[in-house]
Structure 1
Amino acid sequence: MGLFKKNPFGHILWIKRFLIRFLGVLSHRRFRGFNELQIEGSEILRNLPEQGVLFISNHQTYFADVVSMFHVFNAALSGRQDSIKNVGYLWNPKLNIYYVAAKETMTSGFLPKVFAYVGAITVERTWRAKGEEVNRSVNPDDTKNIGVALNDGWVITFPQGTTKPFKPIRKGTAHIIKQYKPIVVPIVIDGFRRSFDKKGLRIKKRNILQSMVIKEPLDIDYENESVESIVEKIEYAIEQHSSFLKVIPQEALEEMEELNQKRKWDY
């Protein structure tokens, strides 16, 4: 590899590799130490192609969700089965992993800018800006950049666009699926909201069982299936459809509502 070899977004790969290793070592104990991350389905990752994969997930914190996925993805690709034991899997990380994030969030300070270099595809939110409701059109460059990332590798997205549970799925994700026809892999996470603060940087509580379930790719008819049908499939796949509220214990619902009251602004 040349010293200044870059990815399609102009990021120098050896710098990206260094940041993944460095941040991975710093964050490892957050998922295997202070807390314990229980993983299910990591063998699915090893059967995926190098490019053209879109991961869809529910969202609980700004950064911890993505960081945990970088750990799990690289551990699985290095041969570990549902485990992130021994951080050595980060020595030769997969460099073409990207994630979709709000431009406003990723430019808000030095640390977010470092995280952005690791693989953020920044997009302008069409419904919220600087803590206020807005209504603006999708920036076509944002959609194009997601397509570039899919052509180069794997992309993680959080189709609700917020860390609040059971919020509607943004139709933009379904449009991207129909346009670029990626393999769509659902992921369901839990425990991060209880473990970390909203940003996912500060440990709020220890000895929390975190979980990540990686599911089989969705069966989607890219040509004939409607946007609404794809949205509904996403809702069920990441367990954010309203029907799931009926099977959640009342205590858990009250805990979620209490946490939401403490969270004044969305991702």
Structure 2
Amino acid sequence: MGLFKKNPFGHYLVLKKWLIRIFGVLTHRRYRGFNELQIEGSEIIKNLPDTNVLFVSNHQTYFADVTAMFHVFNASLSGRVDSIKNVGYIWQPKMNIYYVAAKETMRAGLLARIMAYAGAITVERTWRAKGQEVNRQVNPNDTQNIGKALNDGWVITFPQGTTKPFKPIRKGTAHIIKNHKPIVIPIVIDGFRRSFDKKGLRIKKRGILQSFQIKEPLEFDYENESIEEIVEKLEYAIEQHSSFLKVIPAEEIQVMEDLNEKRRFGY
């Protein structure tokens, strides 16, 4: 890697590599120490092409979710199946992993800005800004940047655009799938909401078993499936379709909503 080599977004790769290394070492014990990350299906990662892969996942914290994905992906690529034992895998990280994040989140403080350099594709929310409901058009530059990232590597997105469970999936993800025809890998996570604060920076509780399930690639008829059909397929894949509510006790749903409210007023 040349010392001054940049990625398509103008970030120096040597700086990005060191940021991933440092954050990887600092955060490792959050998933293997204070709490345990139970991984399933990571053998899928090794068989993926180097570019045009889209990971879709439910969302529980701002930063802990995507940090876990960096750990799992890089551990898998180094030969560890369903394990992040021995953080040495982070020394030579995959450099073309990106994640979609809200622009206002990644500008909220120095730490967020530093983390953004490690791979964030920042987008403007079309439905919410600074805690208020809004209604604005999709910024075409945001869509182009996601396409640019897919052309260069892997992209992680949380299509609900919120950490609250069972919220609707945004149609923008379906448009990206139709337009760019990536390999789409669903991921289902759990336990992060109980382990961390809403931002995913502070450990809230120890001894929590966090689960991380990687599923087989989804199959799409890119030409004939409608946006609505793709959205529904994504909802089922990441287990956020309303039908899943029927198998979750009402008391547990209420606890999740109460926790979300408490965190919302705490930040």
Indicate the residue corresponding to 1:53 in structure 2.
53
TM-superposed deviation, 1:255: 2.0
CA distance in 1, matches of 2:89, 2:34: 20
Indicate the residue corresponding to 1:18 in structure 2.
18
Unpaired runs of at least 5, structure 2:
none
Indicate the residue corresponding to 1:5 in structure 2.
5
- Aligned partner of residue 118 in structure 2, secondary structure: helix
CA distance in 1, matches of 2:238, 2:151: 24
Indicate the residue corresponding to 2:227 in structure 1.
227
Letter in 2 for 1:86: N
Indicate the residue corresponding to 2:121 in structure 1.
121
Indicate the residue corresponding to 1:28 in structure 2.
28
Deviations 1:130-187 (A, max 9, x none): 1100000000000000000000000000000000000000000000100111000000
TM-superposed deviation, 1:34: 0.2
TM-superposed deviation, 1:254: 2.7
The reply to whether residue 40 of structure 1 matches residue 40 of structure 2 is yes
TM-superposed deviation, 1:251: 3.7
- Aligned partner of residue 93 in structure 1, secondary structure: coil
CA distance in 1, matches of 2:263, 2:122: 22
TM-superposed deviation, 1:260: 1.8
Indicate the residue corresponding to 1:200 in structure 2.
200
Indicate the residue corresponding to 1:103 in structure 2.
103
CA distance in 2, matches of 1:88, 1:251: 42
Letter in 2 for 1:159: P
Letter in 2 for 1:209: L
Indicate the residue corresponding to 1:242 in structure 2.
242
Deviations 1:44-99 (A, max 9, x none): 00110000000000000000000000000000000001000000000100000000
Unpaired runs of at least 5, structure 1:
none
TM-superposed deviation, 1:263: 3.1
The reply to whether residue 188 of structure 1 matches residue 194 of structure 2 is no
TM-superposed deviation, 1:2: 1.1
Indicate the residue corresponding to 2:70 in structure 1.
70
Give TM-score, length-normalised by structure 2: 0.98
Letter in 1 for 2:49: P
CA distance in 2, matches of 1:3, 1:98: 21
- Aligned partner of residue 21 in structure 1, secondary structure: helix
Report if aligned partners of 2:197, 2:263 keep a CA contact under 8 Å in 1. no
Q: How many residue pairs end up in the alignment?
A: 266
Give TM-score, length-normalised by structure 1: 0.98
Letter in 1 for 2:51: Q
TM-superposed deviation, 1:248: 1.2
CA distance in 2, matches of 1:257, 1:147: 34
CA distance in 2, matches of 1:105, 1:256: 22
TM-superposed deviation, 1:253: 1.6
Indicate the residue corresponding to 1:176 in structure 2.
176
CA RMSD of aligned residues (A): 1.1
CA distance in 2, matches of 1:47, 1:116: 27
Q: Percent identity among equivalent residues?
A: 79
- Aligned partner of residue 264 in structure 1, secondary structure: helix
Indicate the residue corresponding to 2:86 in structure 1.
86
Letter in 1 for 2:46: R
CA distance in 2, matches of 1:181, 1:136: 26
CA distance in 2, matches of 1:185, 1:107: 28
CA distance in 1, matches of 2:149, 2:198: 27
CA distance in 2, matches of 1:66, 1:201: 12
TM-superposed deviation, 1:261: 1.8
